[in-house]
Structure 1
Amino acid sequence: MNARSGDRLRLALAEYLRTRRALGYALARTEKLLNQFIDYLLATDAAGINTATALSWANLPQAAQGSWRNYRLSVVRSFARYLSNSDPGVEVPAMGLLPYSRPRATPYLYSAAEILALMDAASILSCRQRQATMATLIGLLATTGMRVGEAIRLDVSDVDTSRQLLRIRDTKFGKSREVLLHPSAIAALEKYRTERGQWQSASDCPAFFLSLAGTRLLYCNVHHAFQRMAAEAGLSARSSKCRPRIHDLRHSFAVASMLDAYTTGADGQAQLALISTYLGHIDPAATYWYLSAAPELMATAADRLAAYEEQS
């Protein structure tokens, strides 16, 4: 492949990314990988995009895990499929060439007592600011089902106490939404904001949750602190696939919300649609995964079905 062909591919890549981003995809990693793929085609003087070149690149580096090789090939396959609509010379790699079945973790569903224990365990952190930050963050995740990244990206201006809601901007699919909060949650956020102003009065960072340096929290640091707190709270793995994860606070919120609906006799399907919107899922089908791994929820649903059949 010559430099002119490479330039045409990069222009096509730019258009491909614009098209998909208009649908709400971020694609930062995809952009990086596909530019690396084009570099590879130029460096190896490949004839073009075909199954052989896609596989050769996807299998780099040799020590990469199967999941990473599979992902690299899927990125090229999607791009090749897009190009093939206007260039019949582009060969789209077939599915299943690098088979990999990703084991999915079993959600660790937290009880109310375990969530409180997690928040109390923040006391092991080094100072009052870190303790309050992590305890408030855990409480917010548990009561809203927000993604960790969404909570980290919150700015002070996103917490609307007068309307008792949060504005969650630029989420996983490029969407924004408003999340209503219980008055007790608003009170907890107000308390943290007041204390935060005392600790970080000189910080000009707009983030709601601040690090000791007065900057926005980093996910890796939040994850590390959570693991320490989980150990302190006595939360241990329930199986090899079911370990305490901070993301499972989101699963727990979804399951608890559906259990409340069933307990009060509410319409489960209507509740599911509300939960899906509240969580920021673009399709209610994505919410089903959060619910399918909860024996308590399945049992409650079965009881309601049995009661309905007895009445009919």
Structure 2
Amino acid sequence: MTGLLRDGLVDYLALRRALGYRLDRPEKLLGQFLDHLEHAGQSRITVAAALDWAQRPAGGGDSNWWAYRLSAVRGFATYLHTLDPEHEVPAAGLLPQRPHRASPYLYSAADITALVAATSSLRTPLRRATFATLIGLLAVTGIRVGEAIALDRGDVDLTAGRLVVCHGKFGKTRELALHPTTIDALRRYQRLRDRLAPPTGTPALLVSAAGTRLLYCNVHHAFHRLVNRAGLTPRAGSCRPRIHDLRHSFAVAAMLEAYAAGQDGQTRLTLLSTWLGHVHPASTYWYLSASPELMAVAGQRLEAHLASRP
């Protein structure tokens, strides 16, 4: 009964991905929504059906998660409505989403050293080397976890000292310069990888013990274990050590380094936004605003600037 809807979903996802969206999670959610419609014997999208599915599990769940699920249906329903007005489009704000962002856990150099040391507790030499390399790479480049997992060996030029991020957000590609110590670490990892990894033929730079590309969920699970092993604890209920916070820490460290060197903060911020692959500078400002140390330095520079004005 939902065959036409499933065909429509294929076309919808193809259109959105052609515009640069990845849609891995929405694809999974929308497949579950169509299962829900099929079970209910419905062949078109209604607001009532969308709300019923979005607010599951009944009597529990997070309102932000419910709103996200409904927004996934809204995008698909809007597309179908242009083809067949019988499909209803849930109104925006029908399930209000409260803005909430976790406070970044800014890692110190000692924290990162402890995380890398904790990889010695992992089962195999290859797994230990892979996670030590992953943590180090995230800490010194600020790339996203998904971008690191998606790296192929051909994306890293160890001779030129360049790393090409080919799978950034919205399909954007950017090239990053690597420090000589990072190049040496990657070269050592590749030698060990070639010696220990099963010959699966994967082009992935970072591989699992099975010789396959790392999985996002497995990386997060392993990182939580490493956090516990390293003795890192939450600083508040909304400030817990997450792997993504290595990116925040890189951004803050880059700006503190610029201020310490007497460089122009705005120029460094513009370069940093490009380096991180942010589409909007506001995203970079958010990364920096959670650091009291950085805000203090920026405030001191502003006061000095105002005091120097005639």
Alignment TM-score > 0.5, same fold: yes
Q: 1:18 to 1:195 in 2, by over 3 A?
A: closer
TM-score between both structures, scaled by the size of structure 2:
0.88
Runs of 5+ in structure 2 lacking a partner?
none
Runs of 5+ in structure 1 lacking a partner?
none
Q: Which of 42, 49, 53 is the matching residue for 1:53?
A: 49
Deviation of 1:82 (Å): 3.7
1:104-142 Cα offsets, whole Å, 9 max, x none, are: 211110111221222122222234332222222111110
Paired with 1:23 and 1:189, the residues of 2 have a C-alpha distance of 33
Q: 1:77 to 1:204 in 2, by over 3 A?
A: closer
Q: Which moved more, 1:81-90 or 1:204-213?
A: 81-90
Q: 1:266 maps to which residue?
A: 263
Q: Please state whether the residue corresponding to 1:238 is helix, strand or coil.
A: coil
Deviation of 1:284 (Å): 2.0
Deviation of 1:40 (Å): 4.2
Matched, 1:81 2:61: no
Q: 2:225 maps to which residue?
A: 228
Q: 1:194 maps to which residue?
A: 191
Q: Which of 158, 162, 182 is the matching residue for 1:161?
A: 158
Paired with 1:39 and 1:180, the residues of 2 have a C-alpha distance of 46
Q: Please state whether the residue corresponding to 1:173 is helix, strand or coil.
A: helix
Q: Please state whether the residue corresponding to 2:169 is helix, strand or coil.
A: coil
Deviation of 1:79 (Å): 2.7
Q: Which of 249, 252, 255 is the matching residue for 1:255?
A: 252
TM-score between both structures, scaled by the size of structure 1:
0.87
Deviation of 1:60 (Å): 3.5
Identical-pair percentage: 56
Paired with 2:297 and 2:142, the residues of 1 have a C-alpha distance of 21
Q: Please state whether the residue corresponding to 2:259 is helix, strand or coil.
A: helix
Q: 1:183 maps to which residue?
A: 180
Paired with 1:44 and 1:224, the residues of 2 have a C-alpha distance of 35
Q: Which moved more, 1:247-256 or 1:272-281?
A: 272-281
Q: Which of 78, 98, 101 is the matching residue for 2:98?
A: 101
Deviation of 1:228 (Å): 2.9
Deviation of 1:98 (Å): 2.1
Q: 1:215 to 1:63 in 2, by over 3 A?
A: farther
Paired with 2:60 and 2:230, the residues of 1 have a C-alpha distance of 36
Q: 1:31 maps to which residue?
A: 27
Q: Which moved more, 1:279-288 or 1:81-90?
A: 81-90
Q: Which of 256, 261, 285 is the matching residue for 1:288?
A: 285
One-letter code aligned to 1:246: I
Q: 1:244 maps to which residue?
A: 241
Q: Which moved more, 1:66-75 or 1:175-184?
A: 66-75
Q: 1:309 maps to which residue?
A: 306
Deviation of 1:89 (Å): 5.1
RMSD over equivalenced CA pairs, Å: 2.5
Matched, 1:17 2:13: yes
One-letter code aligned to 1:33: L
